[in-house]
Amino acid sequence: MNIVFIALGSNLNNPIYHVEKGIRDINHLLNTKVLKRSSLYKSKPIGPQNQRDYINAVIKIETLQEPIELLDSLQDIETQHHRRKTKRWGPRTLDLDILIFNELEFNHKRLTIPHPEMINRDFVLIPLYEVTNYNFMIPKYGKLLQYI
């Protein structure tokens, strides 16, 4: 079984609905189960400010899917939520990012694991702290972030 952390974010058309439905959609993926979820967090947009506040959450899942397979599954869910590829850092109905995948370091043109920006984003780290009780490891940062 793979243990994976995923960040969810939305700031369009009832963002709470999209994040909650996104969690249920992930739980329904083949060979995948949501083990734990964070609360919902509301935050100001990082990046361009002329967009609405975001709702963010992080979940912990177990899955038999491999990284690119899981990426395809998550992109299918984003598409079902009418995610449109607009401008970079623009508003979105649902954004699903793979943060950590076991202890894997993975570099592929479509996907980098651990997520290269996660360490800079409070809207990812704070829900991740909640889900893990501060007890997690980001592979390329060794155990520096394993607090307890």
Q: Interface with ligand ROI includes 95 (CB under 6 A)?
A: yes
Q: Which two tokens stand for residue 77?
A: 């869910």
Using CB under 6 A, which of 21, 40, 45, 139 touches ligand ROI? 45
Cis peptide before 114 (omega within 30 of 0): yes
Active site residue 95: yes
Cα(137)–Cα(147) distance, integer angstroms: 9
Cα(52)–Cα(31) distance, integer angstroms: 35
Could you tell me whether strands 54-63 and 2-10 are parallel, antiparallel, or unpaired per DSSP bridges? Answer: antiparallel
Active site residue 92: yes
Q: For ligand ROI, what does the binding mask look like between residues 8 and 27, x meaning CB under 6 A?
A: -x------------------
Q: Interface with ligand ROI includes 111 (CB under 6 A)?
A: no
Q: Which residues are near ligand ROI by CB under 6 A? A: 9, 43-47, 54, 56, 89, 95, 123
Catalytic residue IDs: 83, 92, 95, 97
